């Protein structure tokens, strides 16, 4: 017969909650100091670390892609404007498109990053509340991966 795991203590619940809520550095400190003391805290802290790492990578990729698009549009737009000025012709539709992208894309960065920040905050808040209540929280998709990692 398998034993059911004990419910986490109030200290374990608090440590797990602050790991989720306060981000990477706090989760790392909690994991380093508690990894051998509590399976519950260890799992929640490493899961919070994985979540923060994933969010950082996604944010970096999104912003990097938007910045590359901006600089690409700027390069094509400016060279297209120079070409049309030298040719004494009105700018073509393609050059106008790149000029529009050149001015619009920088405004898209906050439009993507701010909602992402809000989603991350809500996810952290839900994780912190559930672990504070002593419940075992799993981020969708990520929680199973972390469990498999810890079983190795």
User: Over the stretch 116-152, which tens digit does the pLDDT of each residue have?
Assistant: 899 999 999 999 999 999 898 988 888 778 887 777 7
Contact partners, residue 106, CB within 8 Å, separation at least 6: 66, 70
Q: What is the pLDDT of residue 82?
A: 54
Q: What is the pLDDT of residue 109?
A: 76
In a domain, 72, yes or no: yes
**CB neighbourhood size of 115 (10 A):** 10
101, 93 contact by CB (below 8 A): no
In a domain, 103, yes or no: yes
Among candidate residues 43, 37, 50, 52, the one with its CA nearest the CA of residue 147: 43
In a domain, 1, yes or no: no
Q: What is the pLDDT of residue 3?
A: 46
**Which residues of the chain are modeled with pLDDT < 70?**
1-5, 73-74, 76-99, 101-102
In a domain, 3, yes or no: no
In a domain, 117, yes or no: yes
Q: What is the pLDDT of residue 69?
A: 74
CA pair distance 35, 43, nearest whole angstrom: 8
Report the number of distinct structural domains present in the chain. 1
CA neighbours within 13 Å on the CB side: how many for 114? 5
69, 108 contact by CB (below 8 A): no
Q: What is the pLDDT of residue 2?
A: 44
Q: What is the pLDDT of residue 67?
A: 77
In a domain, 119, yes or no: yes
Q: What is the pLDDT of residue 132?
A: 93
Contact partners, residue 92, CB within 8 Å, separation at least 6: 80, 84
Structure tokens at 42: 């260890």
Can you give the residue range of the structural domain that contains 16?
Answer: 10-146
In a domain, 5, yes or no: no
pTM: 0.74
For residue 152, the 8-state DSSP code is -
What is the C-alpha R_g of the chain?
24
């Amino acid at each position: 017969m398998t034993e059911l795991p004990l419910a986490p203590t109030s200290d374990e619940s608090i440590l797990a909650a602050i790991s989720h809520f306060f981000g990477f550095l706090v989760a790392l400190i909690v994991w380093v100091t508690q990894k051998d003391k509590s399976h519950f805290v260890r799992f929640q802290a490493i899961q919070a670390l994985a979540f923060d790492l994933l969010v950082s990578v996604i944010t970096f990729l999104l912003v990097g892609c938007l910045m590359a698009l901006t600089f690409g549009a700027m390069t094509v737009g400016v060279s297209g404007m120079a070409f049309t000025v030298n040719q004494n012709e009105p700018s073509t539709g393609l050059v106008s498109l790149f000029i529009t992208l050149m001015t619009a894309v920088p405004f898209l960065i906050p439009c993507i990053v701010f909602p992402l920040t809000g989603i991350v905050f809500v996810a952290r808040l839900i994780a912190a509340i559930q672990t504070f209540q002593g419940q075992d929280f799993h981020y969708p998709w990520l929680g199973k991966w972390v469990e498999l990692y810890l079983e190795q």
